[in-house]
Chains A and B, each alone.
Chain A
């Protein structure tokens, strides 16, 4: 297990707030710019960065992230580039996670990826299309390299499934707030709070809520019952709407600041 994530959650808990976890795809809009943008998020108070590994078939993602990963792939963002982005992030001030669909990791080599990520300073990996049943070699590789492996629970997960998932998870549990794909929504799924409550019965791990959070007010609402708030598409949208990189940096800083206020209880 990486100690970095448990440190982050211990710190935020003692500060009476939820951790703020921000997602951007590596390489969007370019590899260099993505490093600047993610470090700007850290400057503005993000506690953990989720570095997206761009994949050609992102079937859990909505339109904003699809657009961003297409752009990142067009900009030449390979797995090695993603690892380089991880290396260049400010890991002193934030935990660094990778979020990846499974095929790029399997293709890179499960053990090789875990070793390379640890060497680059990464602390954990979120795998949205990998469930514990198919994860045998991944469980071993992450354990051997002290990488946290974060699986997801969903509103449709049965209580038995939740037990299986959390027993194979380390770092924190990712609770998908709604039945759907990524994307900013006007309301966070009503089932999120119940899901967090069900997951709490099964684990002492921190539980972070993702999918649909796009405002400081929503972050505040979710922080009231969870240990972490995950925001992705709304950051991508900030960047899509900006005229140039300086404007994008300003927008991302401003938005991360709003969210960092929001996660205080």
Chain B
């Protein structure tokens, strides 16, 4: 279906990646690695995955030309890869179904997952329901509050949601807690990591299951434009939607790869999640990558209006793409992201996830930079239903009488 990662040599991407985990997890990671490698050359596995992508997820997702939004992007032609139209509303389902099939293949009966915005948690809970697996999702207490809708969705799907009160009570702490659960239950449990980070082979596995985005988009844009795009654009939290899209174009030197991380209140305020703009190489959650850390190597808590980008690390392959110059990464502040959020809603009738709004703000920059002849391809990674309450508060929109807008505070 796809090639292995650009630089994955025994789980390393240049100096990045690797496996920094307790010895107790080594056997499980080796088992996962073997299961993954045998699965992707097994026609039955591929057939099952492809069929679920078609009949359950709703793939291929469409490519939408967004002319009214493009008017705000220097007149460039802008195409949206509509991952928001997938079942469960984001790209996360691509990976969750893939790893759920691996869970079955390994004979395990329980899946655990971390989640920030809740999209990966919902996707994993969905895949668990579909395949009849147990599911526990770890979510920082702060995130259960700002993404209350997704907490209910997971519970409706039969998953147990564990609210994590350690540390900064966000995504990084949810990952710590998921790792603690995993090491204690690894015989029957698979940890469905939701993004392209963590110990090898997770970055490669998640990239593989998300590469369907780039593969489809490459074909669709060539059909629409008769050529490759000038730039492909995505938001980058851990970086799975970006890696999925980028993977289709990494070998095309004419295509710029542009990633947008969360600038929060502004990189200069210290309240952000800008790993490339303000972080440095370190080890977090089992992998060597860019990390927000202090001079002693302690992780600095990140900040973003978007729960899905609020993470102090990033996938190791992104670090390698950054250092080699193959991809460029810039921060987008909360206010720029929310402006783009509103703009897409009003120009195209598509309410994006706030995570995705960072990529949209990035497209506005790139379009102005490259001009009206440019063709831009953006991963519209998720829909914004989960963010309605946050957006209402940001824009000062009051709910009509009788409608509950609380986030469960």
Interface residues of A (CB under 8 A from B): 55-60, 62, 66, 70, 73, 78-79, 102-108, 128-131, 133-134, 151-158, 161, 165, 176, 179-181
Segment of B13-21, B59-67, B152-160, B266-274 engaged in the interface with chain A: B13-21
B26 engages A103 (CB within 8 Å): no
Q: Could you tell me the dominant secondary structure of chain B's interface residues?
A: mixed
* A108 CB contacts on chain B under 8 angstroms: 296-297
CA distance A108 to B186 in the complex (A): 33
CA distance A73 to B291 in the complex (A): 19
Q: How far is the CB of B28 from chain A (nearest CB, A)?
A: 7
- Using A57-B172, A131-B19 as known contacts, say yes or no to A73 and B184 having CB atoms under 8 A apart: no
Please give me the residue from chain B that is nearest to A100 by CB atom: B297
CA distance A103 to B172 in the complex (A): 15
Give which listed residue, B27, B179, B296, contacts A104 with CB less than 8 A: B296
Kindly list the 8 A-B residue pairs having the minimum CB-CB distance in the complex, ordered from nearest.
A107-B297, A154-B24, A104-B297, A156-B27, A180-B184, A103-B283, A56-B299, A103-B297
A156 engages B167 (CB within 8 Å): no
CA distance A58 to B179 in the complex (A): 10
Binary per-residue interface labels of chain B (1-40) against chain A in the complex, 1 for a CB within 8 Å, 0 otherwise: 0000000000000000011111111111000000000000
CA distance A56 to B19 in the complex (A): 19
* A62 CB contacts on chain B under 8 angstroms: 180
A59 engages B20 (CB within 8 Å): no
A56 engages B167 (CB within 8 Å): yes
* B176 CB contacts on chain A under 8 angstroms: 57-59
A103 engages B284 (CB within 8 Å): yes
CA distance A156 to B32 in the complex (A): 14
Q: Is B282 an interface residue (CB 8 A)?
A: yes
Give which listed residue, B166, B175, B179, B283, contacts A66 with CB less than 8 A: B166
Q: How far is the CB of B133 from chain A (nearest CB, A)?
A: 20
Excluding A78-B296, A156-B186, A157-B24, 14 further A-B contacts by CB distance (< 8 Å) are A59-B285, A60-B180, A66-B166, A102-B283, A103-B291, A103-B299, A107-B293, A107-B297, A108-B297, A134-B19, A157-B23, A157-B26, A176-B24, A180-B24
Q: Is B295 an interface residue (CB 8 A)?
A: yes
B283 engages A158 (CB within 8 Å): no
* A-B residue pairs in contact (CB < 8 Å), sample of 9: A55-B298, A56-B167, A103-B284, A106-B297, A107-B296, A155-B24, A176-B24, A179-B183, A181-B183
* A134 CB contacts on chain B under 8 angstroms: 18-20
CA distance A176 to B299 in the complex (A): 26
A130 engages B26 (CB within 8 Å): no
- Using A59-B176, A108-B297, A157-B27 as known contacts, say yes or no to A179 and B20 having CB atoms under 8 A apart: no
Q: Is B286 an interface residue (CB 8 A)?
A: yes
Binary per-residue interface labels of chain B (74-87) against chain A in the complex, 1 for a CB within 8 Å, 0 otherwise: 00000000000000
Please give me the residue from chain A that is nearest to B291 by CB atom: A103
B167 engages A176 (CB within 8 Å): no
Q: How far is the CB of A175 from chain B (nearest CB, A)?
A: 10
A128 engages B22 (CB within 8 Å): yes
CA distance A165 to B23 in the complex (A): 9
Binary per-residue interface labels of chain B (258-290) against chain A in the complex, 1 for a CB within 8 Å, 0 otherwise: 000000000000000000000000111110000
In this complex, the member of A70, A134, A152 whose beta carbon has the largest number of chain B beta carbons within 10 angstroms is: A134
In this complex, the member of B24, B179, B286 whose beta carbon has the largest number of chain A beta carbons within 10 angstroms is: B24
In this complex, the member of A102, A156, A165 whose beta carbon has the largest number of chain B beta carbons within 10 angstroms is: A156
CA distance A130 to B283 in the complex (A): 10
A106 engages B283 (CB within 8 Å): yes
* B24 CB contacts on chain A under 8 angstroms: 152, 154-157, 176, 179-180
Give which listed residue, B22, B166, B295, B298, contacts A60 with CB less than 8 A: B22
B284 engages A161 (CB within 8 Å): no
In this complex, the member of A70, A155, A157, A180 whose beta carbon has the largest number of chain B beta carbons within 10 angstroms is: A180
A59 engages B297 (CB within 8 Å): no
B186 engages A179 (CB within 8 Å): yes
Q: How far is the CB of B311 from chain A (nearest CB, A)?
A: 12
- Using A156-B27, A179-B184 as known contacts, say yes or no to A57 and B285 having CB atoms under 8 A apart: yes
Q: How far is the CB of A174 from chain B (nearest CB, A)?
A: 9
A129 engages B21 (CB within 8 Å): yes
